[in-house]
Structure 1
Amino acid sequence: MSISIHWVRTTGPLISRIIAALFGGYAVAALASVAVLALPMSKPQAVLTGMLASFIVYACAVIWVFAVRSATKAWLGLLVVAAVLLPAAWSVW
């Protein structure tokens, strides 16, 4: 049984967005929660702030992935945010 080209063209971007929302959103939320530890505050307060902020970041990432016009822009947006958060998170690790 072969998969038609039309099915791949119509369903492929949706599957890509779902994967971006699940895994890309999780990665951005994890980076954001760790990057908060670089802020000048006590460790327990930073951990709590990072945990709470990660829920908002993840929800915003999922909304972003499905709000943009193409799956490519969704992935690029997630990569840009991850690239911005990576230096702050890396300094904590």
Structure 2
Amino acid sequence: MKSAIIFSGTGPILILTTYESLTNPAFVKKLAAKGINKFVAIELPVEKVKSVYAGTFDIIMEDLHQTDDLRVLDYNGHNIFNAFSVKEWGPAIRFEPD
């Protein structure tokens, strides 16, 4: 399970995914289906996301399949930025199609 902020042309979204990598071709294809073709991803500690989004996190987890899945937890950049310190962010992962 991974949690990440995905920065794209329309702003940040907070996602949960069962993909092992945020550059997995199938994961990238799912983002593309949502209109996100290039992005910067910042991984967040799942336990921190769970503590911040408690009830919403649990509802999303009930709908999240065991493998190869992606769910948007929050699409309000203001909420996302206020919920997490940049000190909690992992390294940036940049993706752009060839």
TM-score w.r.t. the length of structure 1 is 0.26
Comparing both structures, which one devotes a greater share of its residues to helix? 1
Comparing both structures, which one devotes a greater share of its residues to strand? 2
Larger Rg: 1
TM-score w.r.t. the length of structure 2 is 0.25
